[in-house]
Every structure is written in structure tokens, then in C-alpha cells.
């Protein structure tokens, strides 16, 4: 049972070693971030921990990528508190809601990769979250590409001072509000991801792409192309360059998620040899 003198406190950058310890040792952990992103998450967004004096027993992180929307970003419980993980989660969620409301957040989302075997899904449904979106997961185990794409498309590293306005236009044109990044999110992505590029056609930024690495796994997080240049080989060019990046990084597996109804993206991924997994991803939403 949880001791009565344990208390919930806001997590700060100085708590990173304690969080990393739980990530390494916890029986119950959810991680929607890389360790490179952790300092910025604690600096920018509400995060709470359950403490007993100087010992961290549980943590809960969030990320606000497009106010008033936020994401459940990370959760972990110490090995000694494993039997109480349901109580720890409830305690931290109730506290986090207050901080998110103070930031103007109205909806909190949780994303998982396997709706049939996600240990947090049932708990969150029991705490007022509702099913919101369905996702497909794809994996690729080689570096083969069917086409290099339109060679008139120039791929270069992002420069937010000159590119941010166009990136935000692409967000509005391509995505519903749930998936859109705001300027601060793009700054964080540029500072923490090893690969973030834009695609130019006739001198105009028309698309972008960024990836993450975790040990020998690669994560293709986002490819976006403005609809005005659809069918001009921009997405193919971005995808081909992304595969080259993963090849240079020597990853053993490339993974991605996409919305169930994003049929154009499905065709692109499958053409590039990505295999759709039987498991289905999902998004839950909680109104605050």
C-alpha cells in the first residue's frame, strides 16, 4: 500500500536522473519520448511525480503540441510501488489535470500501438478517456527504395528562421488540429531529432520530414507534403532520403504509425516495402 506521507510534486530538470532510473527499472512504464527530448519536456510542459522525501516512486509527463490539445507523454512506477501502479496513475492524473487546465488545455490524448494488448488502455477508459482515432502500424526491415522521387525537389536541413511560416502552412493544409505542431513544437523537434529536413520545389518549401532513433530502431515520425504539389514526386523524394538516413544509421527496423483513413500514405508506405502489422494503434481522448 502507498504510504500516507508520500506527496505529489512538480518535476524539474534536476529530476532527470530519478526519472531515468524508473525508465530502466520499472515494471510498468510508458514512454512516448526519447531521452534527448526529456529535458525539454520537463522545461516546457506540466510534469508531476510521486515522492517520499527524496525518492521518486512514480512520474507522469505531458506534451502540449497544439493548444488546447495535449498528449500523455510518459508514465512510470518504481519497482517497489508496482502493486500500486493503478493508484499511482490515478493520483498523478488528478494532479496533472489541474496543471494542464491552467495552461489552457481542454483535451488530453493517449496513443498506443496495440489496442488489444495495451496495459494502460483499460485503465484510462475507466478514468473517462474515450476512443478517438484508430491507427495503423508499419514496419520495414530493409533499405530498398522503388524510386528516388522527383530529382527537381531539393532536400535540405530545416532552417526555422526561414522555414517556419511555410511549415505552419503545411500543417494547416495537411492535418487536423490533433496532429498539428505549433512553433514551439517545431523548435523542440529541430533541437532534439537527428534528422529534420524540408523539401523545396522551384524554390518553395512544399514538404518536410523528421525521424528519431532509439538504439538500432528507426522511427519515421512525419512526412508532410502540401496538397498543392500532390502527385509531383515530393513525398517519394522525402521517403527515399529518409530511408538513406536510416541506412547510414544502420537501424535494423524502421517503424511508423499513420491514421487508419490516410489511404494515400498507406499506398506510399506499402510501395516502399513497409509491412502493415496486424495490431492496431489507437488514440484516446479525455475532456478536461
C-alpha distances out from residue 114 to 28, 65, 131, 134, 219, Å: 16, 23, 13, 10, 17
**pLDDT, tens digit (0-9, with 9 covering 90-100), for 55-86:** 999 999 999 988 899 999 999 999 988 899 99
- Number of structural domains the chain divides into: 2
Q: Is residue 192 part of a domain?
A: yes
Does 146 lie in the same domain as 95? no
Write down how long the chain is: 288
Does 32 lie in the same domain as 77? yes
Percent of the chain at pLDDT > 90 equals: 88
**pLDDT, tens digit (0-9, with 9 covering 90-100), for 179-190:** 999 999 999 999
**pLDDT, tens digit (0-9, with 9 covering 90-100), for 232-263:** 999 999 999 999 999 999 999 999 999 998 88
Q: Is residue 121 part of a domain?
A: no
Q: Is residue 280 part of a domain?
A: no
Nearest-10 Cα torsion for 123, 139, 275, 175: 70
Q: Is residue 2 over pLDDT 60?
A: no
* pLDDT bracket for residue 230 (50, 70, 90): confident
Q: Is residue 134 part of a domain?
A: no
**pLDDT, tens digit (0-9, with 9 covering 90-100), for 109-130:** 999 999 999 999 999 999 999 9
- Which residue, 105, 120, 154, sits at the end of a domain? 105
| pLDDT, mean over the chain | 94
C-alpha distances out from residue 92 to 56, 131, 259, 267, Å: 12, 21, 29, 41
Q: Is residue 269 part of a domain?
A: no
Q: Which domain holds residue 34?
A: 7-105
Q: Is residue 4 over pLDDT 70?
A: no
CATH number reported for the structural domain that contains residue 244 in this entry:
3.40.630.30
- The Cβ of residue 179 has, within 10 Å, a number of other Cβ atoms equal to 16
Percent of the chain at pLDDT > 70 equals: 98
Amino acid at each position: 500500500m502507498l504510504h500516507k506521507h508520500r506527496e505529489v510534486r512538480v518535476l524539474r530538470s534536476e529530476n532527470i536522473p530519478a526519472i531515468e532510473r524508473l525508465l530502466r527499472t520499472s515494471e510498468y512504464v510508458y514512454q512516448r519520448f526519447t531521452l534527448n527530448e526529456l529535458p525539454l519536456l520537463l522545461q516546457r510542459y506540466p510534469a508531476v511525480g510521486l515522492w517520499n522525501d527524496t525518492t521518486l516512486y512514480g512520474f507522469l509527463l505531458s506534451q502540449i503540441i497544439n493548444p488546447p490539445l495535449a498528449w500523455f507523454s510518459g508514465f512510470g512506477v518504481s519497482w517497489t510501488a508496482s502493486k500500486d501502479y493503478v493508484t499511482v496513475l490515478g493520483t498523478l492524473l488528478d494532479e496533472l489535470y489541474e496543471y494542464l487546465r491552467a495552461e489552457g488545455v481542454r483535451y488530453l490524448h493517449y496513443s498506443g500501438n496495440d489496442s488489444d494488448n495495451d496495459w494502460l488502455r483499460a485503465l484510462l477508459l475507466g478514468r473517462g478517456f474515450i476512443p478517438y482515432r484508430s491507427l495503423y502500424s508499419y514496419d520495414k526491415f530493409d533499405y530498398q527504395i522503388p524510386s528516388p522521387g522527383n530529382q527537381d525537389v531539393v532536400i535540405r536541413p530545416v532552417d526555422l528562421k526561414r522555414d517556419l511560416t511555410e511549415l505552419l502552412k503545411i500543417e494547416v493544409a495537411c492535418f487536423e488540429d490533433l496532429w498539428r505542431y505549433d512553433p514551439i513544437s517545431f523548435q523542440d523537434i529541430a533541437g532534439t531529432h537527428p534528422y529534420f529536413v524540408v523539401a523545396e520545389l522551384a524554390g518553395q518549401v512544399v514538404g518536410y520530414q523528421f525521424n528519431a532513433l532509439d538504439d538500432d530502431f528507426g522511427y519515421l515520425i512525419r512526412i508532410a507534403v502540401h496538397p498543392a504539389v500532390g502527385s509531383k514526386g515530393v513525398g517519394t523524394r522525402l521517403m527515399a532520403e529518409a530511408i538513406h538516413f536510416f541506412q547510414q544509421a544502420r537501424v535494423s527496423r524502421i517503424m511508423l504509425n499513420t491514421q487508419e483513413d490516410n489511404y494515400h500514405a498507406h499506398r506510399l508506405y506499402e510501395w516502399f516495402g513497409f509491412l502493415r502489422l496486424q495490431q492496431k494503434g489507437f488514440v484516446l481522448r479525455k475532456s478536461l
